[in-house]
Amino acid sequence: MKILLVDDDEALLTVFATTLKKHGYEVITAPNGQGGLEKAKTEKPDFIFLDQVLPDIQGNEVLKTLKDDLETKMIPVAMLSNFGQNELIQKAINTGAADYILKYLIEPDDLDAKIRDLTKAAQAQPDREQPL
């Protein structure tokens, strides 16, 4: 299973990548939104962790582009953030995020279960469309 990590925080990339590799995942990374979008299309990952604050394009915009594209819309995306305000969470979920993860609360070893739960949920509703 291939996981794409999009974040400009190198330390977080290192920790998440090390954890996921330990659990047997193949991991690819991108340090910005543009790189993330390109890798999502060319590498066809099974799951994406997407940071909310990126140096070039905002995470929500990247998410919207992914969800508007037929090739990438089925890939579950979990937003990563340092901020837990309801409006931010709601915005991400409305844009199509499968989950909203607070970086400082999640334990790295819980990422594995998260990926399994969210991909299972995504497969259970294959025709899930964005509300008009």
Partner 1 sequence: MTTAIALLTTTVIFFCASILLLIKSITDKNKLKKNNENEKNNLVSVISSLSDGVIVLDIKLNPWAINDAARSFLKITKESPTLEDVLITFPGELNLEEKLKEVIQFDRTATLHEVIINEKTFQVYINPVGDGKNKPLNEVAAPITGVSLLLKDITEEKSLEKMQEDFSHSVVHELRAPVTAIKDSASLMLADGLGEDDKKKMLNLIHDQAKKMLTQISSILDAAKVENGKLILTKTSGDIGKVTQDEVSLFLPEAKKKNITLIAEIGNNLPLFSFDNVRIAQAIANIISNSLKYTNANGVVKVTVDTNETENPNTLKSVIISVTDNGIGIPLEKQNMLFTKFGGQLNTSSSKETQAASSGLGLYITKGIIEAHGGKIEIHSMVGKGTTTTFSLPISSQ
CB of 93 to partner 1, least distance (A): 16
Shorter beta-carbon distance to partner 1: residue 60 or 75 = 60
Instruction: Please name the residues in contact with 71: beta carbons below 8 A apart, sequence gap of 6 or more.
Output: 41, 44
CB of 104 to partner 1, least distance (A): 4
CB of 113 to partner 1, least distance (A): 14
Residue numbers of the site for partner 1 (CB under 8 A)?
9, 11-12, 14-16, 18-19, 22, 52-53, 55-58, 82-83, 88, 103-104, 107-109
Q: Are 80 and 50 in contact (CB under 8 A)?
A: yes
Shorter beta-carbon distance to partner 1: residue 58 or 130 = 58
Shorter beta-carbon distance to partner 1: residue 56 or 117 = 56
For residue 91, the surrounding DSSP H or E stretch is: helix 86-95
CB of 74 to partner 1, least distance (A): 27
Place of tokens 């844009």: 95
Q: For the chain, what is the radius of gyration of the CA atoms?
A: 13
Three-state SS annotation for 10-47: HHHHHHHHHHHHHCCCEEEEECCHHHHHHHHHHHCCCE
Shorter beta-carbon distance to partner 1: residue 75 or 92 = 92
